Chains A and B, each alone.
Chain A
């Protein structure tokens, strides 16, 4: 082990510096006491301790290796999937792969720290602060090179070249915007009689149609008013997603997802006298049963946090709150429009059906909506 270099103050001789009136006067009355004496670590002065530290570091690296082997073993040893092995209520495979990987990394880390702190060279050095800016000569030389380059390239003298270059580079940004078209059909391409047409297509329409039954989500059973008590909440869907495909098949795939996400409604029943009917909406509810779009008008989260005593429907995403007794008026939160209301009536068999599609687009506002 070599002796550390002698400790110097590494400082330019301060007496040459120009005296600045703004700086406090240098205090030369006190001698610079220098740095305190360097104390060595036990491993520097005791060969036994050094040997011991060496063994410690090697042991830690060895433990890491053992953990890595355990990791590979646990990867193959524990079953996953349908009937996974468990350990203390946790999945064995995840648990032991995670623990052994953590051990493998941790022991390398501890070993490296131990090595650096006990065995690597132990020197104290002092570095003084210097101005962060480059020297005046460097700055001057750089500026000269820059202006020479500008002069020789003729950017200032040849505006035709400069402007055509700017134009070409600017135009190169356009393809990126044009290619955004490939993200999907534009709203003007989707809808009845347009390029992309399927049940419920278009942002202005949903699958709801005159006489379509309101059915329970998941099970798809139709609903009679007598099924519902005051305070009931039904998460409902248009019957069309259960029988709107070809030959009355259920919808499938993307079309199903689109229609579930646009057609979902909540059906609530309250005391008929509690409802304040909107203008022109006097016959939209039946015996206190009203139906609203489940899609929040703020950014389109599905909402069904309903409080039966206040008739408030709360959106969990940004706390928009709608009063379902008052045409789903926004009483709190960032939503700008009330939830669209689905006009209800009864069909011949006494089931709840839609009078027609929503009068306004469901979900968040968009530019063309005005």
Chain B
């Protein structure tokens, strides 16, 4: 007790010093801040900025998305009961990050396919839109890089992941996206896009949210590890040499047949015509021996 009194007295001597007011003020602020951080709800410190983000996202949404998706993201039905734009309640930030980040949304015009194009929003604006759409209802969040990265795996683990990912890919994805991920045709003018060379984040988000006509492969359907393996397999396809020669886009027998018939046989016919059409003749007469 005496020790405490002594140190308090020593402190007290400085109470009228020139910086005492400043120090007390600082201490008070630190205490208040520390107590608030310790006892306030977990996301309280981010809530102010995320509220701003949601507001910014709503502004962007009203300008660019509301025409088809409704002023509150509730969707706009057409007269015959179809959707001009589907409801966005519960699609989550992952869907926004995929659709807007790959330029599929906003669509130029409604149609069978939402083609990929250069994105029209910056990353911050996409995040704001995502925050707004996520605020409409609970949905999948934008995945973290650790969800789909194979960093930190040993070579053997990575190889096992690629093998398993390949089996899952061949079972679930090749039907529409082709055995090399080159994409393919779908009914009524749509198509399943090429998924080679796509950022892993977007593949993960597409699996999670099922864009347009694609079925979902949610985390209960394909576990996050299985999704990671599929992405690892797709990445491994890019590293593989095309051993048998030119892949011709990996599209199967149609381009191969076109190459053989038009390229191969075309060159042969052209060469035959050229050979038959060209002869040098001399105007000299033969000297009789």
Contacts and interface: CB of A to CB of B under 8 A. Distances in A.
Q: Is chain B a partner of chain A in the same complex?
A: yes
Interface of A: 1, 3, 39-42, 44-46, 84, 86, 89-91, 94-95, 98, 113, 117, 216-219, 223-224, 226-235, 268, 302-310, 312, 314, 316, 319, 321, 332
B275 interface: yes
Interface residues of B, number: 38
B241 A45 contact: no
B288 A3 contact: yes
Contacts of A305: 175-176, 186
Contacts of A321: 187
B242 interface: yes
Interface in B268-282: 275, 279-282
B245 A45 contact: no
Most buried by B among A86, A218, A303, A332: A218
Interface string B184-207: 101100000000000000000000
A229 B219 CA distance: 9
Contact of B164 (A84, A218, A224): A218
Given A94-B243, A227-B221, A310 B281 contact: no
A231 B218 CA distance: 9
B186 A307 contact: yes
Interface of B: 164, 167-168, 171-172, 175-176, 184, 186-187, 210, 212-218, 220-221, 226, 241-246, 275, 279-288
A307 B213 contact: yes
Contact of B168 (A40, A218, A228): A218
A316 B179 CA distance: 13
Contacts of B283: 39
Contacts of B186: 305, 307, 314
Contacts of B220: 223-224, 226-229, 232
Contacts of A3: 286, 288
B86 to A, nearest CB: 8
Contacts of B187: 307, 312, 314, 319, 321, 332
B221 A234 contact: yes
Most buried by A among B184, B213, B242, B285: B213
B107 to A, nearest CB: 15
B213 A46 contact: no
Given A113-B275, A305-B176, A232 B282 contact: no
B281 A41 contact: yes
Given A90-B246, A91-B241, A234-B221, A308 B285 contact: no
A307 B189 CA distance: 13
Given A86-B241, A219-B168, A305-B175, A310 B213 contact: yes
Contacts of B288: 3
Nearest to A307: B213
A84 B164 CA distance: 23
Given A89-B242, A90-B241, A235-B171, A45 B284 contact: yes
A250 to B, nearest CB: 14
A219 B282 contact: no
Most buried by B among A46, A98, A113, A232: A232
Contacts of B242: 89-91
Given A41-B282, A45-B285, A95-B245, A309 B212 contact: yes
A306 B192 CA distance: 11
Contact of B171 (A40, A95, A218): A218
